[in-house]
Structure 1
Amino acid sequence: MVRPSGKHTSARFLLICVSLLGIALIVDLFWASSSSSSSSSSRFSISSNWVPDPIDNSKAPPFINTDHNTLPTKEKAVHHQNATVEGRVLSATFADLPAPELKWEKMVSAPVPRLDGAAIQIKNLLYVFAGYGTIDYVHSHVDIYNFTDNTWGGRFDMPKEMAHSHLGMVTDGRYIYVVTGQYGPQCRGPTAHTFVLDTETKQWHDMPPLPVPRYAPATQLWRGRLHVMGGSKENRHTPALEHWSLAVKDGKTLEKEWRTEIPIPRGGPHRACIVVDGRLYVIGGQEGDFMAKPGSPIFKCSRRNEVVYSDVYMLDDEMKWKVLPSMPKPDSHIEFAWVVVNNSMVIVGGTTDKHPVTKKMVLNGEVFQFDLDKLKWSVIGKLPYRVKTTLVGFWDGWLYFTSGQRDKGPDDPAPRKVIGEMWRTRLKLNK
């Protein structure tokens, strides 16, 4: 056998190495192309599933600081609306909507700060009821603001059995009808008690209790009857659809029992309920809320998921619920944050979807107008800061708001401080 020479062996070895290197490069190119295609397909799929999902909201417990996450600055927030995080397009519903600047004037603050309180305006007086002072302390009195001389005064107590927050409340111009709500601090459940207040004599009287307790129900006077709708069930979290009514006149009940009415299309608390020109409107709100921690002796608040919505429903002569144009963004915690001016409903502040990154509650800082002639929503101004469960009045061309829970600052819409501040601005509506 003839053994090959050294020169031929080296050439053959070099040729084999080059061939193997070429094969490796080709395999690597095919793998990279396949990986890129797969990655692109995966991002598109996740993005498609993320964008249409704007109504999942988790509420931070009242007065609890959740500073472990921080929001981006305004510039970063704008960038995030069109950016991706881990391949997902972020929902932009948490962002402030463009709105005209309003000139706000700070007035004398309320005697105490309030969250989840209630307010009723009768002529030039704003009656401000109950509410949390802190998570462990609730108010059980009424303060009165006089729009004529811009002063607070006339404090008086509520009945001992009356709920302290999340009340349903409405007036006929003299008598204030008070329906159910949460009794006590933290996350205790609702009561079924109802009362009526004679604002001229400051006397309270009992009314028939609701068939079952309800938490933050929509409440209005309509066609001689006191209507109570929705809210949450006894656990504070489960949405209720029931709708009851009771005949009332001049502070007296004309029936001994509540009558069952057509259920509301979507249950839940923290919504505005308004009557204009013989039609009843229910606006915004949410499904779900905090519940008491199981076994907690103080009913300590335990976080739950919420769904904030922008739905608007109307009940008219046919006694059928009709769907109207939705709000410009989901909005909750607005049960006493509205006024009716020039056949328009004006809604102030509230809460919207949770932030898609930090998962914190996001407060609204806009003033919304719903023109009832055109059935059209518009954003007519900005508040001095974002705020929820604020209490609103209107007098002599001025829009007022007081109390509630404000944001952490211009660049952080999460809730922080409970306030008693009073602000006002001149209100000019576009028709």
Structure 2
Amino acid sequence: MVRLPGSKQKPPRLAVICVALLGFGLIADYLWASSPRFGASNFSDAGISLTSRIIPRTNGDASVKSEGNPDVKQGAEKDGSGKEKGSEKDKKKYANVPERFLSATFADLPAPLLDWKKMAPSPVPRLDGAAIQIKNLLFVFAGYGTIDYVHSHVDIYNFTDNTWGGRFDMPKEMAHSHLGMVTDGRYIYVVTGQYGPQCRGPTAHTFVLDTETKQWRDMPPLPVPRYAPATQLWRGRLHVMGGSKENRHTPGVEHWSLAVKDGKALETEWRTEIPIPRGGPHRACVVVDDRLYVIGGQEGDFMAKPGSPIFKCSRRNEVVFGDVYMLDDEMKWKVLPSMPKPDSHIEFAWALVNNSIVIIGGTTDKHPITKKMVLVGEIFQFNLNNLKWSVIGKLPFRVKTTLVGFWDGHIYFTSGQRDKGPDDPAPKKVIGEMWRTKLKLEP
């Protein structure tokens, strides 16, 4: 631009308008991100549910309508007569919109249908609880009842007569969700976890339960609190690894162990072990043939909203993965074949069947457009003979944080949070239902 002698230079009108629009956009984006739509009112994944509607999906690739990049046609509402609502202008706008096909990662995987039978339901619904099977009994611990209420007791299911009973209380200092837990066949070791509802902080307390006497004992506390760490007994030591750090979101990679025997700690302090290659919570952890496996999980989780007096959950970015790691005699982590799809919320969703690890349900990557959580409705098998994954069946519905047992040729699952329906894999209702199906796997 040429400046005339003696004249005053005025800022271009176009630049002023652009700056004003940019400022308005930033303010609007901030107000939208901090609105109640990120609150815990709908109770999805410990209390968070986006209000946008999920796009229906079918087996195979999912298909949605889109125009350019930002606008998505998610299906027109209908009136009482079944006719679509909306103006003729809207109908014409989307009449010739090209289809956009989503990756099969976000769709249900092909799998055989199974004959599921409903059994006696749990006395209470629970999400993010824990479960340990000892012979014909399934001990079910804690968990959310609602986002604002957590259970602090144990229920016991008897596989032989299909009954629940023997309820007893947990220690007052024990965490209510996101627990690490394992058994030696009599004693159940309980490690760290979240204390209280919503997105409250974790505790470092650890306990041991004698399942024959129903007596609790204290154990040496974990060096620092963790949410949902992978936990197992291996070579006479209680191993705890990964999980989320004290802010509930940052993945932890630390790995500790403590010598234990017959329900007692043989040491007063935890020993530092080789860190896990990838941190995070909600993973399956299994020991078979003197090998320790850590399967699936995620990086990131919901956090307490800053300044909230009730620690109200607020949404954060999560990355779900299907990584599989193994420790053996060399005490070095080995990478094994990944799961058929990323899967998290599976810490108590597994059982050992004929030298295979069977995993039921979970959560996978969020929908790429709606960003809503997508639940898993398949059963996965990891054959330890050939280290290969298979999809061996469909669940009666998609569900996460299932509590699983295996007895007399049947695989059982109870509790968790199920989907909104066959065409909507987003989480909705917390359940206490118990289901089973016959499962026969070749060794």
User: Does 2:271 correspond to 1:259?
Assistant: yes
- 1:356 to partner: Cα distance: 1.3
Aligned partner letter, 1:74:
T
- Where does residue 151 of structure 1 map in the other structure? 163
- Where does residue 63 of structure 2 map in the other structure? 80
1: CA distance, partners of 2:61 / 2:322: 22
Q: 2:54 aligns with which of 65, 70, 84?
A: 70
User: Does 2:178 correspond to 1:166?
Assistant: yes
Aligned partner letter, 1:230:
G
The DSSP-based 3-state class of the residue aligned with 2:63 is: helix
- 1:67 to partner: Cα distance: 4.2
Distance change (3 Å), C-alpha of 1:308 and 1:411: same
Q: 2:284 aligns with which of 257, 266, 272?
A: 272
Quick check: 2:363–2:400 contact (8 Å CA) kept in 1?
A: yes
- Where does residue 145 of structure 2 map in the other structure? 133
Q: 2:325 aligns with which of 302, 313, 333?
A: 313
Aligned partner letter, 2:46:
P
Q: Residues 25-36 of structure 1: matches in 2 within 5 Å?
A: none
- Where does residue 214 of structure 1 map in the other structure? 226
Q: Residues 166-205 of structure 1: matches in 2 within 5 Å?
A: 166-205=178-217
Distance change (3 Å), C-alpha of 1:240 and 1:63: closer
User: Does 2:352 correspond to 1:340?
Assistant: yes
- 1:72 to partner: Cα distance: 2.3
2: CA distance, partners of 1:281 / 1:337: 14
Q: TM-score, normalised by structure 1?
A: 0.84
1: CA distance, partners of 2:347 / 2:57: 30
1: CA distance, partners of 2:58 / 2:47: 24
1:300-346 deviation line (CA, Å, top 9, x unaligned)? 00100000001000000000000000000000000000001110000
Quick check: 2:62–2:104 contact (8 Å CA) kept in 1?
A: no
1: CA distance, partners of 2:334 / 2:231: 18
2: CA distance, partners of 1:322 / 1:84: 42
Distance change (3 Å), C-alpha of 1:79 and 1:200: closer
Structure 2 unaligned spans of 5+: 1-42, 70-99
User: Does 2:298 correspond to 1:286?
Assistant: yes
- 1:84 to partner: Cα distance: 6.8
1: CA distance, partners of 2:49 / 2:207: 35
- 1:89 to partner: Cα distance: 5.9
Q: 1:405 aligns with which of 402, 412, 417?
A: 417
Q: TM-score, normalised by structure 2?
A: 0.81
Quick check: 1:60–1:303 contact (8 Å CA) kept in 2?
A: no
Q: Which runs of 4+ in 1 moved over 2 A?
A: 59-68, 72-75, 83-92
Structure with the bigger RCO (C-alpha within 8 Å, sep 6+) is 1
Quick check: 1:61–1:302 contact (8 Å CA) kept in 2?
A: no
Aligned partner letter, 1:336:
F
Q: Residues 362-377 of structure 1: matches in 2 within 5 Å?
A: 362-377=374-389
1:27-55 deviation line (CA, Å, top 9, x unaligned)? xxxxxxxxxxxxxxxxxxxxxxxxxxxxx
Structure 1 unaligned spans of 5+: 1-58
Greater percentage in helix = 1
Please tell me whether Structure 1 or Structure 2 has the larger radius of gyration of its CA atoms: 1
Quick check: 1:182–1:188 contact (8 Å CA) kept in 2?
A: yes
User: Does 2:339 correspond to 1:355?
Assistant: no
- Where does residue 90 of structure 2 map in the other structure? none
Aligned partner letter, 2:227:
Y
Count of residue correspondences: 371
1: CA distance, partners of 2:127 / 2:380: 21
